[in-house]
Amino acid sequence: MKLLTLLPGLACLMAFFLCNGSECGTVRGKARSKRELVRIREAKTTFPGACATRLPRGKRSLPGMDRRSSRQSRTGDNNSGRGKAIYFTGRGDQLRLKPGVEIPRGNFTLEMWIRPEGGQRSPAVIAGLFDKCFYASSDRGWLLGIKAVSEQVNRDPRFFFSLKTDRAHKATTITSNARYAPNQWTHLAVTYNGQHMKLFVNSAQVGVSREQSGEIFSPLTKKCKVFMIGGNALSNNYRGAMEGVALWGRARPQQEIAGGMRSRQRPSDPSLVIHETFENPSRKWLTVKDGSFPREGPGLGGGALDTSLEPPACGQTICDNVEVAASYNSFWEFRRPRTVRYRVVNVSDDSRRRPTVTAKQISLQHQHLNEAFGPYNITWELSVHNVYNTSLRRRLVLANCDAGKVGDEECDPECNHTLTGYDAGYCRKHKPHCPPDKPGNGACDPECNVDAHGYDNGDCCNPNVTDVTKTCFNPSSPLR
């Protein structure tokens, strides 16, 4: 999309493209312009209707994570709060909670980290609450799992959360907005508050329903309820790793889920019913008949989730496929008018000054888009979202440059920028000479502000010495 390059200012914007029409919005393309990739990393909010999770997919994200874990082992960090990971083979190692734990009847939250392998059976039950007395109704209770939502070849496997209170006639199922990412650590959370059931993937809310209401089961049937992880009694088992399972007796709000996901602290809260770190699974869990305990698996390694943002697939759809688009030209009947909705996020200072773009620029671009696409029966629908946040406004957005990549001892071209000190020096061909007396001398010396010299031994991240928004490159500094 050449037109987007009209306004350089737009580089700092997030624009969510939503393709409107059944033919659009399914196929994800690979090639994207650098400019499109420029996103605001800190954007936490998900906008209704927009592509809700912006997660790295597939190969690109994995190296970042691996490197990050090596960084962490270097600094001797550990993940004492989350505990160990276990690995389910999917063959008889599902676990059942021992009796004695009061499973929430009403409001609840279930959270965990998982790393599902590819090719799960459908459905694959990751965790669930079952009724062992009521065989006639196997869907009583609730389930968190993965299942195919399409009959097509790719089957489009997604996370799902289904719930059926004992009084309800049928179960309600909500699914995530996109396929699950195999072999990638993902944070899952589901909540129910007697009115809404919600599904969160990496703390972004991706599904909600208010079809079910009231308590899930009555005190009378308490003894029938079994909480299981890794599968169910019918062996619809999950294959992959799991870590840090927590069950709460209340519906945690999204903010809390997001905060907890980032924190490596052990959660402490009176409403916490189960916090399983898998240090000693046999203490609280039972295996199924002839089954075994899952073995210890490769853990998340204390690394925070690699949430480097992936541009939404919406901009790259089957409509961008030249062959498909060209074939439309020969069948004018197919060319129904289309509307593409997009959103410009306009970030300004707290004082509402210094907006990334002016209203005039936005309307100019909008006008050009409509002029250019109008002849093809495509119109653009603009919405503007204003954010007033000085700290965010000052931030630099580098596409795909995850903080963990800066200064990781190799040059990542996507992080090569003056505001990362050319990837903390690793992208510089000619390394400047740093005199040994300069690091830590109380002045920020650019020639020493590289990883190899401890970022000038902290001088360049010291707000008393320098403008840290311009010189602090150290990814481990909170002032970066």
Ligand X SMILES: *[C@@H]1O[C@H](CO)[C@@H](O)[C@H](O)[C@H]1NC(C)=O
Question: Which residue, 237 or 346, has its beta carbon nearer to ligand X?
Answer: 346
Cis peptide before 8 (omega within 30 of 0): no
Q: Do 398 and 44 contact (CB within 8 A), yes or no?
A: no
Instruction: State the minimum distance, in angstroms, from the CB of residue 278 to ligand X.
Output: 14
Q: Judged by CB under 6 A, does residue 351 bind ligand X?
A: no
In the numeric block, which tokens belong to residue 292? Answer: 């075994």
Instruction: State the minimum distance, in angstroms, from the CB of residue 350 to ligand X.
Output: 8
Helix (H, G, I), strand (E, B) or coil at 161: strand
The dihedrals phi and psi of 36, each to the nearest 5 degrees, come to: -65, -25
Q: Judged by CB under 6 A, does residue 176 bind ligand X?
A: no
Question: Which residue, 173 or 462, has its beta carbon nearer to ligand X?
Answer: 462
- 193, 213, 287, 469: which one contacts ligand X (CB under 6 A)? 193
- For the chain, what's the residue count? 480
- 183, 282, 386, 476: which one contacts ligand X (CB under 6 A)? 386
Instruction: State the minimum distance, in angstroms, from the CB of residue 235 to ligand X.
Output: 33
Q: Say what the alpha-carbon torsion angle 129, 132, 134, 135 is, to the nearest 10 degrees.
A: 110
Question: Which residue, 238 or 248, has its beta carbon nearer to ligand X?
Answer: 248
- 24, 384, 396, 419: which one contacts ligand X (CB under 6 A)? 384
Instruction: State the minimum distance, in angstroms, from the CB of residue 97 to ligand X.
Output: 21
- 204, 258, 345, 362: which one contacts ligand X (CB under 6 A)? 362
Q: Do 85 and 241 contact (CB within 8 A), yes or no?
A: yes
Distance CA 244, CA 79 (A): 10
Q: Judged by CB under 6 A, does residue 208 bind ligand X?
A: no
Which of the residues 32 through 71 are near ligand X (CB under 6 A)? 42
Query: What sign results for the dihedral spanned by CA atoms 239, 245, 250, 252?
Result: negative
Q: Judged by CB under 6 A, does residue 371 bind ligand X?
A: no
Question: Which residue, 60 or 395, has its beta carbon nearer to ligand X?
Answer: 395
Q: Judged by CB under 6 A, does residue 76 bind ligand X?
A: yes
Question: Which residue, 183 or 350, has its beta carbon nearer to ligand X?
Answer: 350
Instruction: State the minimum distance, in angstroms, from the CB of residue 123 to ligand X.
Output: 27
Distance CA 454, CA 428 (A): 16
Q: Judged by CB under 6 A, does residue 392 bind ligand X?
A: yes
Q: Judged by CB under 6 A, does residue 270 bind ligand X?
A: no
- 268, 283, 332, 433: which one contacts ligand X (CB under 6 A)? 332
Q: Do 46 and 198 contact (CB within 8 A), yes or no?
A: no
CA 164 to centroid of chain Cα atoms: 27
Question: Which residue, 122 or 213, has its beta carbon nearer to ligand X?
Answer: 213
The burial class, CB within 10 Å (0-12 / 13-18 / 19+), for 393 is middle
Q: Judged by CB under 6 A, does residue 304 bind ligand X?
A: no
Q: Do 169 and 228 contact (CB within 8 A), yes or no?
A: no
The burial class, CB within 10 Å (0-12 / 13-18 / 19+), for 373 is middle
- 175, 176, 449, 462: which one contacts ligand X (CB under 6 A)? 462
Distance CA 306, CA 315 (A): 22
Q: Judged by CB under 6 A, does residue 377 bind ligand X?
A: yes
Question: Which residue, 286 or 384, has its beta carbon nearer to ligand X?
Answer: 384
- 46, 61, 94, 107: which one contacts ligand X (CB under 6 A)? 107
Distance CA 370, CA 3 (A): 10
Q: Judged by CB under 6 A, does residue 427 bind ligand X?
A: yes
Residues 6 or more apart whose CB falls under 8 angstroms from that of 462 comprise: 444, 468
Residue window 150-169: x/- pattern of binding to ligand X, with contact defined by CB under 6 A: --------------------
- 5, 73, 80, 339: which one contacts ligand X (CB under 6 A)? 80
The dihedrals phi and psi of 74, each to the nearest 5 degrees, come to: -65, -40
Helix (H, G, I), strand (E, B) or coil at 356: coil
Distance CA 85, CA 69 (A): 15
Instruction: State the minimum distance, in angstroms, from the CB of residue 371 to ligand X.
Output: 14
- 335, 383, 410, 452: which one contacts ligand X (CB under 6 A)? 335
Instruction: State the minimum distance, in angstroms, from the CB of residue 376 to ligand X.
Output: 5
- 209, 416, 441, 457: which one contacts ligand X (CB under 6 A)? 416
Q: Judged by CB under 6 A, does residue 330 bind ligand X?
A: no
Q: Do 92 and 233 contact (CB within 8 A), yes or no?
A: no
Residues 6 or more apart whose CB falls under 8 angstroms from that of 235 comprise: 92, 94
Spell out the alpha helix ranges (H) of 122-169: none
Question: Which residue, 132 or 394, has its beta carbon nearer to ligand X?
Answer: 394
CA 268 to centroid of chain Cα atoms: 24
Would you tell me which residues interact with ligand X (CB under 6 A)?
42, 76-78, 80, 106-107, 193-194, 251, 332, 335, 337, 346, 348, 352, 355, 359, 362, 375-377, 384, 386, 389, 391-392, 395, 411, 413, 416, 422, 427, 462, 464
